[in-house]
A and B are shown apart, each in its own frame.
Chain A
Amino acid sequence: MENGLATPLNAIRESIPFFIPELILSAGILLIIISGLIRKNNLVITFIAFSIFVSLILLLTFTWNDAAKPVTLFGGMIRHDSYANYFKLLFDTAALLTVFMTWRNKKQEHLSEYYALLSSVVLGAHLLVMSVNLIMVFISLELVSISSYLLTGFSFSKKSAEGSLKYFLFGSVASAIMLYGFSILYGLTGTLDFSSAEFFKGLLTIQSPLFLISGLMALAGFIYKIAAAPMHPWSPDVYEAAPMPVVAFFSVVPKLSGVAILTRFIPAIDIQGKSGYDWQLIVVIIALLSLTIGNFSALWQKNPKRMMAYSSIAQSGFLLVGVAAFSGEGIHFMLFYAAVYLLMNFVVFLYLQVFEFNGVTTIAAFEGAGKNFPWPMVFMLVALISLTGLPPTSGFTAKLFVFSALWESYSVSGKPLLLVLLVFGLLNTVVSLFYYLRIPYYAFIKSGQSPLKTNNLTFENFLGLILVLAVLYLFFNPELLMGWINKITFVR
């Protein structure tokens, strides 16, 4: 009996050193709530949130080499490896940028609750990318989701409440489906640890349609988080309803966490290629659908937030192209894409917020903005060009990379659908150009009214400049990031 208790306790004790970032986050959440209760000083709360994410980024950067050897923690619940660490860094960077954006939004109410929820999403995302256990996946996914539902409502308007409720309804259905899928998988294999040999063995022996259905059900939950078709319809409404920093955050953190867990989960149900069902085909179809639906729906949008929502659906498609290659290189390139996606998306949202402050809430209202706001518009143009995937931006490099991996995968397997994805995915770029150019089109080409005198030396322009330079720099020197990514060994 003594021994029985000592083993798990020991496991927990040994796991703690690898769990420090999450502990910092949890402590931070409590600190934010407490300080919100004691004194409602917005600056202090912002500063706490800021220091949490800065310290997390520093910690993760400096302990990067420790993660080289994957360790399974808490008795097979989560795994600490460089793959998860990389995503955590992206989440924390995104959260830090969100803090900056929120700080600029002087009108944001209930700041302590807001930051507590924001940090909870990040905590959930942290746990999700580490999870190797189905229960853990569910819990962390719910942590991300429930906090997100609440964050959507933080504009405290009718529309915002509506978006929040829609998100919640869709989300709970998706979670339920996913959980049902998990339960069948558990029934089939007798284990919840989807990285274990037992899980593989269990699936290998049962190649029944039930396996296909349960796998698809589980995927549905992830695809929902990624906002990939056909589980995407919530995203435009939610994006429209939520405050701008939250939208920027949603477009990156929950999405990337979904992609991350999908990438971990797919090889497990693919049983290293031995599965009777072609999961690669399924990912290819999801990617194709997301690309096409996202890009074509974005064409008709009049609201920049809705347009960016569809854009982010299409971008999920591009991320999934890397996953669909089903190769180590494909995943590496997807990681590169994820980082670039974070940068360029935040530039766009950063300036959408600036324009929102100036009363610009429709695409048509950007008329003449090129004259009045030269810097923001030029930076936004670079980011949009990068989202389209034209050189000389790293968006191009990222697309080049993921599609190269797809080509290589095609040359190995010869599956015609991969070629279809390659051709249609790239041709989608032409469609996307049409809507990505619409804001610059109104801003630079339609002549606006009286020129305003605006100050170019703002915090946003400084931050935007750094992000834009990073977007451009990674085109000319992708080795910088790829050298780092190449060290990530993706263990199936």
Chain B
Amino acid sequence: MQDYLISLLIFTPLLATIIGLVIPARAENSFRWLALAASLIQVLILIKALQVYSFSGGLQLVERQNWITLNLGDWGLLKAEYFVGADGMSLPLVILSVVTILIAVISSWTISNNVKGYFTLLLILNAAVIGTFTALDFLLFYLFFEFMLLPMFFLIAIWGGPRREYASIKFFLYTLLGSILILIVMIGLYVSNRNPLSTEIVVHSFDLISMTDPANFISNAILDPNNTWMIGPLDARYWAFLLLFIGFGIKLPMVPFHTWLPDAHVEAPTPVSVLLAALLLKIGGYGLLRIAYPIFPDAALHFSWVVGLAGVISIIYGALNALASKDLKRLIAYSSVSHMGFVLLGIASVTAEGIAGAVYQMISHGIITTMLFLIAGVLYDRTHDRMIANYSGLSSKMKSFTAVVLVAFFASMGLPAFSGFIAEVMVFLGAFKSNSVNGLLHESMAIVATLGLILSAAYYLWTLQRMFFGPFHLKGGIQESQITDLNTREYGMLIPLVILTILLGIFPQVLMNYIDPFAQYFTKLVLQVGKELTFNP
């Protein structure tokens, strides 16, 4: 069945971009309303899509069109498709994207410098993010994936803070490096892959779903699972997995490839930080779940301890850095590194709980980190100062703001009744269970990772104590008159997020209905195929 809902989601912002291009740059407000309108339309389309989607799992809302068909002579046919769809992992991420982008647009209302350019880039980014989460053709995925880089680069570089130039270039180079690693694997995969439906002529397709079936590889091709092709000490498929792992790991970000993140986050304007943390990081986790694991299950099982270890190191190292941060935004950025580590740990366990936890953590972190960056933005808008040490006793002047901060910090810490709790508990369940169920991760990894929880409690509580409690005083030339409580627009952004994180903390079933079938299916696929390939090479 052909469905057009996902295409509508992707192309609505692009259409708005085109409309925006003909509006003269002087009409600044029209761009704000245009972006908002695009986001609101997307919400409506999404509601319709959710009605159509059934919880039974599997790919739905699928749309398939031929895109590029190239005759390559003796080589056969190259075939790329416009192939989009959603399953239990991508749909929650699409929901997250639509919501976060809506909030980011509202948060961008105060941008006053080159409004036309800003909102044009934001709209392009919007389309690219949703495209990345729904593309099921590798070339299409790669197109959207790269398409995000340029708008993001300019958004940081033009509207960012004092060190924006350094931060934006660093962001671009790191991410491009990651995407080149992914590109190498993409080339290898499509050359090695053939469409099973056509028998007489070899069709090299980019179809991500058909690549998960080992039978669809050309025998004796480099990445053919039934054939060992050694490059140095490792099988070519192992190398390919490692390339993908690093490529998506840079995006995630995973220690030691995370150093672009604190810079980019600190320098980016608030709405861009929100998008970066809430959505772009998730593409790393999404890529592992959509591409690296299902296509290279044998390598994934072989390297699961590496993935798990990278997760644990990210959790601890990110938390330690957050503890040492003097800048509020930097603290939040490092807490992101720490929390995305849980995603890695959950994925590495390849248990239904772990995978579901990882996806849940992506959504939960998306919501919570949006809140956190908005909080930092609220403070920065008023005082243009983010140094933790310059504030004390804010709770006496900003009562409602402090309440929101409490919710956000507690949610991020993983306290029960907030979404972070559910996600982290499931990841731990998976990580502990892994050794007895499939023997991939040792329990010690989960035990060490729990330290991350304690550390996160430490840095959040310490920050609360330093900034919000105690006697009220300010340093660094901040005037008392600048400290005012939340305004209506800020309430409008933060309150829905507070409700969401509590809702997902108390009724996880709302999201689990989507995620659970995916987690079951994914675990079965990776374990079964992976073991088959490992034992009969």
Contacts and interface: CB of A to CB of B under 8 A. Distances in A.
Interface string A404-423: 10011011000010010011
B27 to A, nearest CB: 16
Contact of A483 (B71, B75, B147, B187): B71
B73 A400 contact: no
A391 B190 contact: no
Interface residues of A, number: 36
Contacts of B220: 411
A30 interface: no
B176 A433 contact: yes
A419 B234 CA distance: 14
Given A404-B190, A482-B70, A430 B177 contact: yes
Nearest to A422: B184
Given A407-B188, A411-B221, A329 B177 contact: no
Interface stretch (B149-157, B464-472, B473-481, B503-511): B149-157
Given A391-B146, A434-B173, A410 B73 contact: no
Interface stretch (A214-222, A258-266, A437-445): A437-445
Interface string A307-323: 00000000000000000
A72 interface: no
Given A385-B150, A444-B154, A419 B231 contact: yes
B18 to A, nearest CB: 14
A123 to B, nearest CB: 32
Interface residues of B, number: 40
Nearest to B153: A437
A379 B154 CA distance: 16
B142 A426 contact: no
A396 B150 CA distance: 14
A426 B180 contact: yes
A236 B191 CA distance: 37
B68 A408 contact: no
Interface in A442-492: 444-445, 476-479, 482-483, 486
B173 A430 contact: yes
B222 A392 contact: no
B70 A445 contact: no
B68 A478 contact: yes
Interface in B56-99: 67-75
B158 interface: yes
Contacts of B187: 400, 403-404, 407, 422
A427 interface: yes
B338 to A, nearest CB: 27
A445 B156 CA distance: 10
A390 interface: yes
A445 B149 contact: no
Contact of A408 (B75, B147, B150): B75
Most buried by B among A328, A404, A477, A486: A404
B197 to A, nearest CB: 20
Contacts of A441: 157, 165, 169
Contacts of A476: 67-68
Contact of A411 (B150, B164, B190, B222): B222
A403 B189 CA distance: 12
A429 B75 contact: no
A444 B158 contact: yes
Contact of A329 (B75, B172, B180, B221): B75
B40 interface: no
Interface in A335-354: none
B150 A391 contact: no
A476 B81 CA distance: 11
B176 A391 contact: no
A75 to B, nearest CB: 32
Nearest to B142: A391
Nearest to B157: A445
Contacts of B221: 411
B222 A407 contact: yes
A411 B73 contact: no
A445 B143 contact: no
Interface string A110-148: 000000000000000000000000000000000000000
Contacts of B173: 430, 433-434
Contacts of B172: 433, 437
Contacts of A408: 75, 191
A339 to B, nearest CB: 15
A416 to B, nearest CB: 8
Contacts of A329: 72-75
Nearest to A431: B173
Given A390-B149, A391-B146, A407-B188, A486 B71 contact: yes
B230 to A, nearest CB: 10
Contact of B177 (A332, A392, A410, A427): A427
B183 interface: yes
Given A403-B187, A430-B173, A410 B222 contact: yes
A429 B143 contact: no
B68 A479 contact: yes
A318 to B, nearest CB: 14
Interface string B25-64: 0000000000000000000000000000000000000000
Contacts of A416: 231
A425 to B, nearest CB: 10
A474 to B, nearest CB: 11
Contacts of A392: 143, 147
Given A390-B149, A433-B173, A427 B180 contact: yes
B147 A407 contact: no
A175 to B, nearest CB: 36
Most buried by B among A328, A385, A430: A430
B147 A391 contact: yes
Most buried by A among B73, B180, B229: B180
Contact of A429 (B154, B180, B229): B180
A426 B183 contact: yes
Interface string B131-162: 00000000000110011011001100110000
6 contacts: A328-B74, A410-B222, A427-B177, A429-B176, A434-B169, A479-B69
Interface of B: 67-75, 142-143, 146-147, 149-150, 153-154, 157-158, 164-165, 168-169, 172-173, 176-177, 180, 183-184, 187-188, 190-192, 220-222, 229, 231
